[in-house]
Structure formats: structure tokens, C-alpha cells
């Protein structure tokens, strides 16, 4: 299911895919391990057999902070999400008040934008398809 | 292979600070050189005597070259590595190895920063990551806030316990005339302070100051001729797990577990032998994490450990006796100030805050986002 295309430029390729609404991860063909952030070689082994796969987007909030900028800007979350694939990513959790985003909350990724910049936005899993 | 650190073969013979707080109009280099010539002069040395240079300035990636030029010296060793605020603990490690191997004879370790009066905010030297920047975390506060959120979740740590760290630091600062902020601070004031990045408020965060420091190291035999109270380097070790907080293998256990264990083994001591502790407290959560990771209390117990003034003046374990990054000085990189305070305590130069009979001190540095960890164990002549 994976494809080794564009693996010479993993960072640029990942960002371009995100800009097109796709959330990709790398996986090593030999070890089966998922890799994030995207790299030219698997950590520790140095294996260069990394292939792109679509992320499931399913995850759980591992840690969360709420940042409250000067009003009228609204408070927002920054969270670390443990994905089902076994890698951790930074993202925002939306779809409920920031102070109600709790560690352990099951979430689902959507690719969206924050002030025009492509970004991973996570929503509570129950509400993910609302 | 055996870790053949040259225990007690080298010593800190002099320290100095300069411009702590506000030093308007002065460049970071000028501040560092003020501290350097002052530290050298205290033991009858001049810049021309220095042949090992270890330095880092906030925004100057060639500061080793610039300082050599400024001092008019041709060092045999120049090191301006940047692993973050812990760079200075790693300088002590490399200086000890170099001195013991005869690669240099007089090592100068220095730092200066004018960030408060020049920019008014923490100097950012971490390159933004494309995998974190879109989310607009406060760098570096949010990284430490994420670790704190996890510590609370796993161990039941409370904001009031974090506040105990800030209050203890302030009480130490009140005993240190050099400390930048010395007004009384209560747990209640911490809890009602403006939130920066939850669960950390502005009172959980370090100061933004100017400041400079310097220390001079030689081999032990020469140290005894230069000064009355050499402070011997008993152990020094570093460890690194990650750069970005999202890549930290464990948000509540840092690489200090490794750097601390190796430094203790080199020194032949355990945490129980340490009389006075200096921990890199960029945020209150740091103090809890490092107390745990360096073996002063079990993992997860840091919050309960600091209750009841245990790390404050008069408590069982003196921690950050200068007032720390939270209340004394934090010009962007704090590591050298932790080392200077540890050395001052062992040399009996700590004035009203002096820990009577202190023989072993620990100075721990942290860099990046709980990333680089480096631990130095220092001892008085009685420990050699």
C-alpha cells in the first residue's frame, strides 16, 4: 500500500501533501515501524526503505496546554496526540471548549488550516464525523 | 568502556557575575568580558593566561572566535557548542577532560546576555519546526506546560505544589542581594497570576534579565596555589533525547536520569551526599522533574517533596540558593549561573544564604525543551 515516491525530499513532500488535505506517515518496509516527523532514514536503524502511507488520523490526547492570548483573540489548545500508528504529533484540539480538552480524550484528525497555514486539527472522536 | 572521568583532577578557582538584572546599553560581549576579567583578576590571572575558551552568546554563533579576538588571545581550544542553557555544564565536562589531558592549562567559561534591555523578551534561538510552528505554541513555555500537564495527570501534581517551587526560589532570592526580584511572593499570588500556557502561569516562568558570568578552571595542583578554596570537579556528564517536545520519549522523565547517574558514579556519591543543589529552573516544573530524575525523591513525588518549605531556606534540602532562574537571573541561558552559585556555596562565598559546612554541590543544566541535560558534581577539598 505504500509508495516510495518523493522520498528524497520527505519534509517538503509531507508538507505538500498536508497542503492538499492528506495526512501522511512514513513506514519502514523492513521494520514495519511508523516514523514521524518524516525523515530520509529510519531512526536508529538508518533504513532508507521508508514508504508513505495514509495516517488513520485516530489518536488520543497525550498532553495539552491552553494558551490565552490577549482578547479579543480566543484561547486555543496545543496538544500532543498519540496516533494509533504509534507515533506522536503536535496538533490542536477543536470542537469543544479548550479547558475541556482532557488527557486521554479519543480524537480524530482532520487536515485544516490555522491562519492560512496547513495544520492537523483534531476533534473528539464521537463528533469527528458530525 | 570505562567512564574514566578525571575525578577531582581539575577545579574551579574563581567565579564572577556581572550586570545581573539590567545592564542598559551594554552588548552581550561587553557583559561577558566584564565578568571574565573580574573572575581572572580574583586569582591574579589575565586574559593572556587563558588558553582554553568556552563561551556562548545569545545571538552570536561565532562567539568563541569573537571572544578570542576581543581578549586578544590565541586559545589552544575554542568551544562554543550550543546544546542550549546546559551548554555551560558541558563546557565544565570538556574543560575538565582537556585540562587533565594537557590540552589547555587555564580554561575560561563565560556567558553574557543583554536580552532584557535590548529586546525585552526571551531571545529565541530554537529554529521553529514545520511540524510544531503552525500550532502557535509559546516557545519554550508551552513545551514545559505540556510536560506539566502530563505530570499532573500521571502523579496528581497540583498547581499549588508548583507554586511552592516559585515561593522557595523567591525566599532564597530575598537572601541574595544580587537577585533581580526580591519582593515577597505567596502561593496564593502564584495561583492567581496570569496564565501563560496552562497549567503554567507567569509566576511559574523564569525572569527575563540581562546578566553575565564567568568561571576559571585549572588542574588541581595549580588550583591550590591560585586560591584558598578550590572547588573540585568530581563528575560531569551529559545526555540528550530529543529537540522538539513532541519528540520527547517521555514527558515526565528527562535525560537527567542518565546524566545524573553517570556524574554520581564518576564522583563516587549518591544524591543523599549532596549538600546543596542548583537546578536549571526555567519553569517550576523543571525543579520537580530534576529533583526526581536526579534521585532526590522518587519519580512522581516531586510535588509532595517540595511542600512544607523543604527546598526553601531552613528546609531539609537547599535548592537554587541564589533564587534561581525564577527570581535571581535568567538572561536566556541559565546554566552558568547554577554553576557559579554551586561554586560560591562550596567556597564559602554565599553570604547570608551560605549553607554551613557544604562539601558537595550539584549544578544541573537543561537545554532546549527538556532536551539536553547535563550534570556537574562539585566538591570542596575535603571530598578529594
- CATH classification of the domain holding B163: 3.40.47.10
Helices (H) and strands (E) in chain A, counts: 1, 8
A111 and chain B: CB distance < 8 Å anywhere? no
Question: For position B119, what pLDDT does the model report?
Answer: 81
Question: Which of A37, A80, A87 should be substituted to probe chain B, the one whose Cβ sees the most B Cβ atoms within 10 Å?
Answer: A80
**Domain annotation for chain A: domains and CATH numbers:** 10-54 (no CATH), 58-127 (2.40.50.140)
Domain match, B109 and B164 both: no
Collect all residues of chain A within an 8 Å Cβ-Cβ radius of residue B245. Answer: 80, 90
Domain match, B60 and B190 both: no
Domain match, B293 and B351 both: yes
Domain match, B215 and B243 both: no
Compute the half-sphere exposure of residue B50: CA atoms within 13 Å on the CB side of its CA. Answer: 34
Domain match, B43 and B142 both: no
Question: For position B128, what pLDDT does the model report?
Answer: 77
Question: For position A1, what pLDDT does the model report?
Answer: 45
**C-alpha dist (Å) from residue A129 to A98, A106, A119:** 20, 13, 18
DSSP letters spanning B124-178: --SPPPTTTGGG-PPTTHHHHHHHHHHHHHHH---HHHHHHHHHHHHHHHTT-TT
Among chain A residues, CA nearest to B247: A88
Question: For position B126, what pLDDT does the model report?
Answer: 66
Question: Which of A90, A98, A121 should be substituted to probe chain B, the one whose Cβ sees the most B Cβ atoms within 10 Å?
Answer: A90
Distance separating the N- and C-terminal Cα atoms of chain A: 29
Q: Would you say residue A8 has pLDDT above 90?
A: no
Domain match, B280 and B330 both: yes
- Put simply, the answer to whether A103 touches B129 (Cβ < 8 Å) is no
- Which candidate, B200, B159, B166, places its Cα nearest to that of B185? B166
Question: For position B121, what pLDDT does the model report?
Answer: 72
Write out pLDDT tens, residues B107-159: 999 999 999 999 877 666 667 799 999 999 999 999 999 999 999 999 999 99
- Which candidate, B61, B282, B67, places its Cα nearest to that of B165? B282
Question: For position A6, what pLDDT does the model report?
Answer: 56
Question: What backbone phi and psi angles, to 5 degrees, belong to B200?
Answer: -100, 130
Domain-embedded: residue B129? no
Distance separating the N- and C-terminal Cα atoms of chain B: 24
Q: Would you say residue A130 has pLDDT above 60?
A: no
Domain match, B88 and B34 both: yes
Domain match, B239 and B218 both: no
- Which candidate, A87, A80, A81, places its Cα nearest to that of A33? A87
Collect all residues of chain A within an 8 Å Cβ-Cβ radius of residue B242. Answer: none
In contact, B148 and B197? CB cutoff 8 Å:
no
Chain mean position to CA B22: 19
- Put simply, the answer to whether B138 touches A11 (Cβ < 8 Å) is no
Domain match, B47 and B96 both: yes
Residues 6+ apart with CB under 8 A from A55: A23, A24, A25, A83, A85, A109
Buried b / exposed e over B79-100, threshold 16 CB at 10 Å, is bbebbbbbbbbbbbbbbbbbbb
The ipTM estimated for the assembled molecules is: 0.95
Residues 6+ apart with CB under 8 A from B181: B170, B173, B207, B323, B327, B328
CA dist B365 and A60 (Å) reads 32
Residues of chain B scoring pLDDT < 50: none
- Put simply, the answer to whether A92 touches B251 (Cβ < 8 Å) is no
3-state secondary structure of B191: helix
**Which residues span the domain enclosing B104?**
10-120+210-227
Q: Would you say residue A129 has pLDDT above 80?
A: no
B129 and chain A: CB distance < 8 Å anywhere? yes
Question: For position B68, what pLDDT does the model report?
Answer: 98
Residue B319 buriedness (CB in 10 A; 0-12 / 13-18 / 19+): buried
- Put simply, the answer to whether A103 touches B150 (Cβ < 8 Å) is yes
Question: Which of A23, A78, A114 should be substituted to probe chain B, the one whose Cβ sees the most B Cβ atoms within 10 Å?
Answer: A78
For residue B27 the three cell numbers come to: 552588548
Write out pLDDT tens, residues B295-335: 999 999 999 999 999 999 999 999 999 999 999 999 999 99
Question: For position B233, what pLDDT does the model report?
Answer: 98
B147 and chain A: CB distance < 8 Å anywhere? yes
Collect all residues of chain B within an 8 Å Cβ-Cβ radius of residue A90. Answer: 131-132, 135, 137, 244-246
For residue B205 the three cell numbers come to: 516562568
Domain match, B220 and B245 both: no
Collect all residues of chain A within an 8 Å Cβ-Cβ radius of residue B138. Answer: 67
Write out pLDDT tens, residues A50-70: 999 999 999 999 999 999 998
- Put simply, the answer to whether A78 touches B245 (Cβ < 8 Å) is no
Domain match, B14 and B150 both: no
- Put simply, the answer to whether B198 touches A65 (Cβ < 8 Å) is yes
Domain-embedded: residue B203? no
Question: For position B120, what pLDDT does the model report?
Answer: 74
Domain-embedded: residue B192? yes
Question: For position A3, what pLDDT does the model report?
Answer: 55
Average pLDDT in chain A: 93
Give how far B250 is from chain A: nearest CA, Å.
11
Among chain B residues, CA nearest to A104: B153
Domain count, chain B: 2
Domain match, B189 and B40 both: no
Share of chain B above pLDDT 70, in %: 98
Considering Cα of B77, then B81, then B85, then B89, what sign does the dihedral take?
negative
How many contacts does A have with B, using Cβ atoms within 8 A? 75
Rounded to the nearest 10 degrees, the angle between the axes of helix B256-267 and helix B284-293 is: 50
Write out pLDDT tens, residues A26-55: 999 999 999 999 999 999 999 999 999 999
Amino acid at each position: 500500500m505504500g509508495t516510495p515516491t518523493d522520498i528524497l525530499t520527505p519534509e517538503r513532500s509531507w508538507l505538500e501533501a498536508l497542503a492538499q488535505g492528506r495526512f501522511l506517515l512514513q513506514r519502514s518496509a523492513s521494520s514495519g515501524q511508523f516514523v514521524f516527523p518524516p525523515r530520509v532514514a529510519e531512526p536508529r536503524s538508518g533504513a532508507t526503505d521508508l514508504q508513505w502511507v495514509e495516517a488513520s488520523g485516530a489518536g488520543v490526547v497525550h498532553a495539552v496546554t491552553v494558551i490565552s492570548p490577549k482578547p479579543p483573540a480566543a484561547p486555543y489548545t496545543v496538544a500532543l496526540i498519540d496516533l494509533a500508528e504509534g507515533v506522536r504529533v503536535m496538533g490542536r484540539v477543536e470542537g469543544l471548549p479548550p479547558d475541556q480538552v482532557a488527557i486521554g480524550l479519543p480524537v480524530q484528525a482532520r487536515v485544516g488550516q490555522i491562519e492560512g497555514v496547513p495544520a492537523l486539527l483534531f476533534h473528539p472522536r464521537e463528533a469527528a464525523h458530525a | 568502556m570505562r567512564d574514566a572521568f578525571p575525578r577531582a583532577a581539575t577545579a574551579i578557582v574563581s567565579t564572577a557575575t556581572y550586570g545581573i538584572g539590567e545592564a542598559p546599553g551594554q552588548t552581550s560581549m561587553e557583559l561577558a568580558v566584564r565578568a571574565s576579567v573580574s573572575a581572572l583578576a580574583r586569582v591574579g590571572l589575565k586574559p593572556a593566561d587563558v588558553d582554553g575558551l568556552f563561551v556562548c552568546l545569545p545571538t552570536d554563533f561565532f562567539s568563541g572566535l569573537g571572544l578570542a579576538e576581543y581578549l586578544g588571545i590565541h586559545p589552544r581550544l575554542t568551544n562554543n557548542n550550543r546544546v542550549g542553557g546546559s551548554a555551560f555544564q558541558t563546557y565544565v565536562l570538556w574543560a575538565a577532560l582537556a585540562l587533565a589531558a594537557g590540552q589547555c592549562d587555564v580554561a575560561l567559561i563565560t556567558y553574557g546576555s543583554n536580552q532584557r534591555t535590548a529586546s525585552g523578551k526571551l531571545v529565541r534561538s530554537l529554529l521553529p519546526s514545520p511540524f510544531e510552528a503552525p500550532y502557535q505554541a509559546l516557545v519554550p513555555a508551552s513545551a514545559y506546560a505540556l510536560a506539566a500537564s502530563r505530570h499532573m495527570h500521571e502523579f496528581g501534581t497540583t498547581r499549588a505544589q508548583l507554586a511552592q517551587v516559585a515561593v522557595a526560589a523567591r525566599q532564597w532570592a530575598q537572601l541574595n542581594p544580587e537577585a533581580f526580584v526580591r519582593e515577597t511572593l505567596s502561593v496564593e499570588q502564584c495561583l492567581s497570576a496570569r496564565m501563560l500556557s496552562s497549567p503554567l502561569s507567569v509566576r511559574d516562568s523564569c525572569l527575563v534579565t540581562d546578566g553575565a558570568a564567568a568561571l576559571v578552571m585549572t588542574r588541581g595542583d595549580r588550583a591550590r596555589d591560585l586560591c584558598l578554596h578550590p572547588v573540585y570537579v568530581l563528575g560531569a556528564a551529559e545526555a540528550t533525547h530529543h529537540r522538539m517536545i513532541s519528540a520527547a520519549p517521555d514527558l515526565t522523565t528527562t535525560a537527567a536520569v542518565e546524566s545524573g547517574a553517570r556524574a554520581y558514579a564518576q564522583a563516587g556519591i549518591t544524591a543523599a551526599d549532596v549538600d546543596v543543589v542548583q537546578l536549571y529552573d526555567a519553569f517550576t516544573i523543571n525543579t520537580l522533574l530534576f529533583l526526581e530524575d536526579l534521585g532526590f525523591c522518587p519519580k512522581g513525588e516531586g510535588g509532595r517533596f517540595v511542600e512544607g518549605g523543604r527546598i526553601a531556606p531552613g528546609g531539609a534540602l537547599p535548592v537554587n540558593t541564589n533564587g534561581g532562574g525564577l527570581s535571581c537571573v535568567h538572561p536566556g541561558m541559565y546554566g552558568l549561573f547554577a554553576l557559579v552559585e554551586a561554586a560560591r556555596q562550596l567556597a564559602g562565598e554565599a553570604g547570608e544564604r551560605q549553607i554551613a559546612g557544604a562539601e558537595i554541590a550539584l549544578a544541573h543544566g537543561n537545554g532546549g525543551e527538556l532536551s539536553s541535560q547535563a550534570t556537574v558534581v562539585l566538591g570542596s577539598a575535603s571530598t578529594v
